Structure 1
């Protein structure tokens, strides 16, 4: 097993001069830098990486044909590989070759990803579900050898990548090459090696907002930009959707392949602007604020405070640079909230804080922003289901 080294490797002479990745600016890598990683074999795959996988500040990851059904989620822990853990759990092999297979809801699977990493001592990675994955209520987490945390790739990591997959509301068909998650890469310099948070401070966010509006309306800061739920309808009757249990299987490769009314129950605005979240139910809601991500930043949805309520709103909360940028320079997209209540019913009210956007700098400007390519399915979005569903039919 190859994992993070206790002492970073040293580079000398021509190697150091040649290795621009050791001298790159601090921050998240933009698309062209991720492509350069592939060219230098810091990132490679068993099948050629497709150009469409490269997002403005992230890379879409593909499932290989090798997968396993497991009885419980797990982390390998120090000095252990994912394969070691799978063997000790007597995991049942599942083939994703050809037409793939159906992953049953409420079952945990672990699939090897096609991509592998050969990182430098100054490079780390962080993963999250893709937007469409979160909106289908598919819970995914990246696992690497020797790891004690999900979705984290440590400095200098070399080895395989694995993905834990657990469909929650719908059973789904996936196959070799399916894309459920994405990874971003962070370069650190000597001042940032021991840091665990890289977010802009509220003062830095306020200054950026004065230059380029991050949200419409007032800026509400709390270690990030506070987002509030929209239950007023904002001029529309439907304010959300609730997943229908016992629906048909969803093939994640089918875009606009399903009638929304077969899988979702619309939630209509109430005069009192309230919604009771039932335990175990899954909801799609939207933020009151419209937002945009400047070209030199990326953002991630984070919990505002565990004390505000027993629900989760950020299954797939990464926003590439350019998301929500309107033609007039104003924010044009709402954040879609993937909401699941936990143990008890919980009352949400219109305008209630539900999350915050945490911003991070890019190491260099992206050569293409979100919304410029055909794969930008959610640019300018309001309340919106995943790309797999056609719009609701008019009553």
Structure 2
């Protein structure tokens, strides 16, 4: 059956050697519709981000752009504003017809930690062609905070697709009629499910957070350890609007509570480039079961990672800022997001990454 491979199908890829690693893949890496990827033992500091290009290897390109190497074995700091390439522990030997796509994990995106997958012969970030055989690399650029990393840390994840998986707008409307995908009456379906920003919270006037420009290092292994006030400024509004500053990074939240039914997955994507001088940094994947409850009436907000570009921009309550592109699963996962596995963001509202103390 075509679609996004579920956890038990990913396990089959591991068992057959299409997915391999040294050390071997930990069962905890397997998520409902994706596999977490682990950092290796060394990082290359490079002069600039790059794509490998057809017929060339990442190793060749590193020889061109390397500045120095960093041993991660005992832990090392990746500095804000610098670009690094880290070989991953996993490698692929995909069968023909099976393609893959990667994206940053939720906590990675919420730290404004730009993380993209590159491969030998690759002409796009985060896209792996059908039948690819070879190593995997993470390009990492800390944008707001310097971070302490170690081998085995999982900053990005990979999803596998067999054939066409995207649900078109006609099918998406039918699915929404059967199982509401979003709360409220105003449903926007246009190349996916549109979602907007919430700048009028049900209580209080806290609408988001803005990253402070000069902060300490964040150790990615420390969970619930950091005081948000040392890294973030609170963004408050009583008017249902905020003015985004160029170059600043914001954590906001969607107005809608969204649901991903068990037989589907979703990927967050920008809505339209023309709607404003900002970008939703989108961490990416929404697993089957996100915001879903068999009893109905559930849903979880989507956290928005927003960066303003060339000019200050007024963002207003209810403005559409992104869309969820739904994909059919090839099979229902053996375990769903928020059910039987550790799921940090099920039922979330406005929430920083798991590294910070709860507000």
Task: Report TM bin, short chain.
Answer: over 0.9
1:211 CA drift (Å): 1.2
What are the Cα deviations for residues 231-273 of structure 1, in whole angstroms up to 9, with x where unaligned?
A: 0012232110011111110001111011111111111122x21
Decide whether the 8 Å contact of 1:280 with 1:342 is kept in 2.
Answer: yes
Decide whether the 8 Å contact of 1:233 with 1:269 is kept in 2.
Answer: no
1:221 CA drift (Å): 1.0
* d(CA) in 1 for partners of 2:330, 2:119: 24
2:18 to 35, 42, 47: 42
* d(CA) in 1 for partners of 2:25, 2:141: 25
How many aligned positions are there?
A: 358
* d(CA) in 1 for partners of 2:33, 2:180: 20
Runs ≥4 in structure 1, deviation > 3 angstroms? none
1:147 aligns with 2:114: no
* d(CA) in 2 for partners of 1:382, 1:201: 28
Partner of 1:110: 85
Partner of 1:16: none
Partner of 1:238: 206
Indicate the SS of the match to 2:265.
strand
What are the Cα deviations for residues 6-40 of structure 1, in whole angstroms up to 9, with x where unaligned?
A: xxxxxxxxxxxxxxxxxxx1111000000110000
1:289 to 247, 256, 273: 256
1:133 aligns with 2:101: no
Q: Which has the larger displacement, 60-69 or 365-374?
A: 365-374
1:211 to 178, 200, 217: 178
Partner of 1:333: 300
Question: Whose radius of gyration is greater, 1 or 2?
Answer: 1
TM-score by length of 2: 0.98
* d(CA) in 2 for partners of 1:226, 1:257: 34
Decide whether the 8 Å contact of 2:335 with 2:341 is kept in 1.
Answer: no
What are the Cα deviations for residues 54-84 of structure 1, in whole angstroms up to 9, with x where unaligned?
A: 1100000000002100010001101000000
Partner of 1:97: 73
Partner of 1:27: 3
Partner of 1:59: 35
1:265 to 205, 228, 233: 233
> In 2 relative to 1, CA 109–90 (structure 1 residues): closer, same or farther, beyond 3 Å?
closer
Partner of 1:250: 218
Decide whether the 8 Å contact of 2:206 with 2:234 is kept in 1.
Answer: yes
Decide whether the 8 Å contact of 1:213 with 1:331 is kept in 2.
Answer: no
TM-score by length of 1: 0.89
Partner of 1:183: 158
Unpaired stretches in structure 1, ≥5 consecutive residues: 1-24, 193-197
Indicate the SS of the match to 2:39.
strand
* d(CA) in 2 for partners of 1:168, 1:266: 19
Unpaired stretches in structure 2, ≥5 consecutive residues: none
1:162 aligns with 2:137: yes
What are the Cα deviations for residues 207-234 of structure 1, in whole angstroms up to 9, with x where unaligned?
A: 1011111000122111111101000012
